[in-house]
Amino acid sequence: MKLSKKQINQLSGILHDIKRAYNYIEREEVKGIAVEVKQGRELGCDYKIINPDCIETCSNTTIFIGLHNKNIGSDIAGLSMGLSKLQSFIESNME
């Protein structure tokens, strides 16, 4: 069953949004994805962030984060596969 032109246009819009997100993540200055962890050293490459503006008003001013590789080892790595599959699907259903 072929998709209608309206459906192809809707999927093409979705593809455009996914490509924008993918291109952003793949920029050279984006080194990884930061994930909050309960304490440092849980992921082997953790960082401690302290917000000095929050010390007197917040109960938790320290956040520990781990840096995940943007291409492997995290769910974000599925973005490139999904992008490729969606693009192939759209191309195979065009008239």
User: Does the pTM of the predicted model rise above 0.85?
Assistant: no
Q: According to the model, what pLDDT value does residue 56 have?
A: 59
43 within 8 A of 19, measured Cβ to Cβ? no
88 CB burial (10 A radius; 0-12, 13-18, 19+)? exposed
Which of 78, 74, 71 shows the shortest CA–CA distance to 27?
Answer: 71
62 within 8 A of 39, measured Cβ to Cβ? no
pLDDT, tens only, 28-40: 888 777 776 666 5
pLDDT, tens only, 52-63: 666 555 655 566
* Separation of CA 31 from chain center: 12
